[in-house]
């Protein structure tokens, strides 16, 4: 299936080193790439081209497939179908090292540097210059690093320890390292997310210099203004599909937003109008260090308050703080009209709150335990326990009923949860919290990574809960879900609430506008 004419990375490397680099207008040409993960098609029929000496921005909502495509280009994933041409020659990349040696370097969001080693050691790792005795020649390594930095106008000490550098400077080191591989293609994944304005300006200067040297740069960003400042071209992806590639000078901000979100809500969400009751949760000026600031909102019984925003906008942090996982540094929380301090999840639980976390594997499931053990864990604080002994038959009955209600597909309560599908795992976790009969339900990405059927069932369930008077706070990156399920939508951007929209006035463009200021 994969390109028949593809040369092996070894051949490509030999061609490159012989100096006979085939000339082509395009550094990268990608055709018909497809990538599936169990249960999800992450990319389908993707096209993408990168020209020499250009900055090409990649835009799209969370989950649009940008990162997956970049990981394919950088050799981290292998595509299921489609062809990749590097400078006109078809190529198969089998590992990140392959990609690197063929001139494709990726600068990851989470920087991959070793903090206890020096700048120079990090850059030349695996390629250290050796002296005649086969020992590392530190003086030469220092010199090589200095030359590299001079070329890039980076003012850093090659002998500084990485751990002592700021995030911005570490990023410079990453870039220098990428350039040191004589890379032709440089992939930057939201490089400015942790930088100050001055650092961004410096980064852009470096990017322009690299562009002038003929390097092609793929630049993933959520920030519209950066696109217009630095990009020559941009491509938009949506739901794993390629939408368009256009020159940046030809479009306006609104055009791009429409391309990013321009889809009809095709899924039906069983949202019902239910009577909205009293305010059950009132948050004022909630702040957590530098993660989010001054978050205020009211949540009423029976209401579903959607929370939209890009990844990193502080949405999940707000949820964690409300549930006492990371207690707030300032602000007040009132539950049923009473001022409360929520210093631990246990306290939140006693207040009638429940929290379905975003990451099923990391903070949700006990993978080595069975379905019942996973489901019962939050309810054992109060019920089903006498003198420390768990009433096995009562809890088993309760779990069995809950599994029936949520239509969990499992061979039995004794099945290990890791053998269930993602959707069924999620239902078990939902069940964990429903057993506690919560009054306030916080859902963080409740339908992430689960199939359409399970998704619809979770939506149905949330609606039913709202009807019984449960107040729901639902964080979601999926626009249709937020728009379809919510009574109101709170939008966050860089740790602040940028607006709260009513169901009647909310649409995708308005949300995206508030989320990508």
Partner 1 sequence: MSTQTTSSASAPIESIARARRWPQEVNILLVLLGIALLFELLGWFIQGQSFLFNYNRLQIMILQVAVIGIIAVGVTQVIITGGIDLSSGSVVAATAMIAASFAQSSDWARVIYPSLTDLPFFVPLAVGLGVGLIAGITNGALIAYTKIPPFIATLGMMVSARGISRWYTNGNPVSGFTDDFVLIGDGLGRWMPVVIFLAVALIFHIALRYTRYGKFTYAIGANQQAARVSGINIERHLVKVYAIAGLLAGLAGVVAIARIKTAQAGMGMMYELDAIAAAVIGGVSLAGGQGKITGAVIGALILGVMISGFTFLRVDAYYQDIIKGGIIVAAVVVDQYRQRRRKKS
Q: What residues make contact with partner 1 under the rule CB under 8 A?
A: 267-268, 270, 323, 325, 344-346, 348-349, 355, 357, 362-369, 373, 376-378, 380-381, 385, 388-390, 392, 400-401, 403-405, 407-413, 415, 418-419, 432, 452-453, 456-457, 460
Are 307 and 281 in contact, with CB atoms under 8 Å apart? no
β partners of residue 89: 86
* CB nearer to partner 1: pick between 236 and 399: 399
Taking the complex as a whole, the smallest distance from the CB of residue 282 to partner 1 amounts, in Å, to 22
* CB nearer to partner 1: pick between 364 and 449: 364
* CB nearer to partner 1: pick between 376 and 486: 376
* CB nearer to partner 1: pick between 199 and 457: 457
Taking the complex as a whole, the smallest distance from the CB of residue 460 to partner 1 amounts, in Å, to 7
* CB nearer to partner 1: pick between 307 and 378: 378
Taking the complex as a whole, the smallest distance from the CB of residue 266 to partner 1 amounts, in Å, to 9
Q: At what angle do helices 138-152 and 197-212 cross, to 10 degrees?
A: 90
* CB nearer to partner 1: pick between 87 and 432: 432
Q: How far is CA 197 from CA 133, 193, 258, 514, in A?
A: 47, 11, 28, 21
Residue 8 DSSP symbol: P
Taking the complex as a whole, the smallest distance from the CB of residue 410 to partner 1 amounts, in Å, to 6
Q: Which residues contact 76 (CB under 8 A, 6 or more apart)?
A: 96, 106
Q: Cα angle vertex 307, ends 263, 286, to 5°? A: 155
* CB nearer to partner 1: pick between 83 and 357: 357
Q: How far apart are CA 466 and CA 455, in angstroms?
A: 17
* CB nearer to partner 1: pick between 337 and 404: 404
Q: How far is CA 293 from CA 250, 396, 493, in A?
A: 36, 43, 11
Taking the complex as a whole, the smallest distance from the CB of residue 457 to partner 1 amounts, in Å, to 7
Whether the CA torsion 349, 354, 358, 363 is positive or negative: it is positive
Are 34 and 19 in contact, with CB atoms under 8 Å apart? no
Taking the complex as a whole, the smallest distance from the CB of residue 447 to partner 1 amounts, in Å, to 13
* CB nearer to partner 1: pick between 46 and 318: 318
β partners of residue 292: 288
Taking the complex as a whole, the smallest distance from the CB of residue 405 to partner 1 amounts, in Å, to 6
Q: Which residues contact 90 (CB under 8 A, 6 or more apart)?
A: 3, 5, 6, 7, 83, 84
Q: How far apart are CA 430 and CA 424, in angstroms?
A: 10
Taking the complex as a whole, the smallest distance from the CB of residue 324 to partner 1 amounts, in Å, to 9
Helices (H), 217-252: 224-230
User: Count of alpha carbons within 13 Å of 286, Cβ hemisphere only?
Assistant: 32
Taking the complex as a whole, the smallest distance from the CB of residue 381 to partner 1 amounts, in Å, to 6
* CB nearer to partner 1: pick between 61 and 457: 457
Are 185 and 104 in contact, with CB atoms under 8 Å apart? yes
Taking the complex as a whole, the smallest distance from the CB of residue 45 to partner 1 amounts, in Å, to 25
Whose structure tokens read 């249709």? 480
- The string over 448-486, giving b where at least 16 C-beta atoms fall within 10 Å of a residue's C-beta and e elsewhere, is bbbeeebbebbbebbbebbeebbbbbbbbbbbbbbbbbb
Q: How far apart are CA 342 and CA 340, in angstroms?
A: 6
**SS3 state at 464:** helix
* CB nearer to partner 1: pick between 249 and 266: 266
Whether the CA torsion 131, 177, 67, 430 is positive or negative: it is positive
Taking the complex as a whole, the smallest distance from the CB of residue 394 to partner 1 amounts, in Å, to 13
């Amino acid at each position: 299936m994969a390109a028949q004419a593809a040369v092996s990375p070894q051949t490509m490397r030999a061609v490159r080193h012989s100096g006979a680099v085939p000339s082509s207008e395009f550094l990268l040409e990608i055709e018909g790439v497809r990538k599936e993960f169990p249960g999800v098609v992450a990319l389908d029929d993707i096209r993408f081209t990168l020209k020499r000496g250009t900055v090409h921005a990649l835009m799209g909502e969370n989950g649009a497939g940008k990162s997956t495509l970049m990981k394919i280009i950088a050799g981290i994933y292998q595509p299921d179908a489609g062809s990749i041409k590097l400078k006109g020659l078809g190529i198969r990349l089998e590992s990140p090292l392959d990609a690197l040696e063929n001139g494709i370097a990726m600068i990851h969001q989470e920087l991959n540097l070793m903090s206890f080693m020096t700048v120079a050691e990090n850059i030349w790792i695996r390629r250290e210059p050796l002296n005649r005795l086969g020992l590392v020649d530190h003086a030469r390594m220092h010199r090589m690093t200095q030359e590299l930095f001079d070329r890039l106008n980076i003012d850093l000490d090659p002998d500084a320890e990485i751990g002592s550098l700021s995030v911005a400077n570490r990023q410079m080191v990453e870039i220098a390292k990428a350039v040191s591989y004589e890379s032709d293609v440089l992939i930057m994944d939201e490089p400015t997310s942790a930088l100050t304005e001055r650092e961004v300006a410096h980064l852009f200067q470096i990017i322009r210099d690299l562009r002038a040297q003929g390097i092609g740069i793929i630049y993933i960003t959520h920030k519209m203004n950066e696109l217009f400042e630095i990009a020559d071209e941009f491509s938009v992806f949506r739901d794993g599909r390629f939408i368009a590639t256009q020159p940046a000078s030809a479009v306006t901000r609104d055009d791009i937003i429409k391309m990013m979100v321009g889809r009809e809500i095709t899924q039906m969400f069983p949202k019902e109008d239910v009577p909205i009751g009293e305010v059950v949760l009132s948050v004022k000026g909630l702040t957590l260090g530098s993660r989010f600031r001054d978050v205020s909102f009211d949540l009423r019984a029976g209401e579903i308050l959607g929370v939209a925003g890009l990844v990193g906008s502080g949405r999940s942090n707000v949820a964690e703080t409300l549930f006492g996982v990371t207690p707030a540094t300032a602000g007040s929380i009132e539950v049923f009209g009473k001022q409360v301090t929520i210093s631990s999840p246990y306290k939140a639980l006693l207040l009638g709150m429940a929290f379905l976390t975003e990451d099923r594997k990391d903070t949700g499931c006990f993978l080595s335990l069975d379905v019942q053990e996973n489901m019962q864990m939050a309810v054992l604080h109060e019920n089903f326990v006498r003198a420390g002994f768990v009433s096995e038959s009562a809890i088993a009955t309760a779990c069995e009923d809950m599994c029936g209600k949520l239509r969990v597909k499992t061979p039995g309560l004794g099945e290990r949860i890791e053998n269930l599908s993602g959707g069924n795992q999620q239902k078990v976790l939902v069940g964990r919290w429903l057993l506690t009969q919560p009054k306030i339900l916080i859902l963080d990405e409740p339908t992430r990574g689960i199939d359409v059927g399970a998704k619809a069932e979770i939506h149905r369930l949330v609606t039913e809960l709202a009807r019984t008077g449960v107040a729901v706070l639902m964080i979601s990156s999926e626009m249709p879900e937020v728009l379809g399920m919510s009574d109101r939508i709170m939008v966050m951007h860089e740790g602040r609430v940028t607006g709260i929209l009513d169901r009647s006035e909310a649409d995708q463009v308005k949300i995206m506008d508030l989320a990508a200021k």
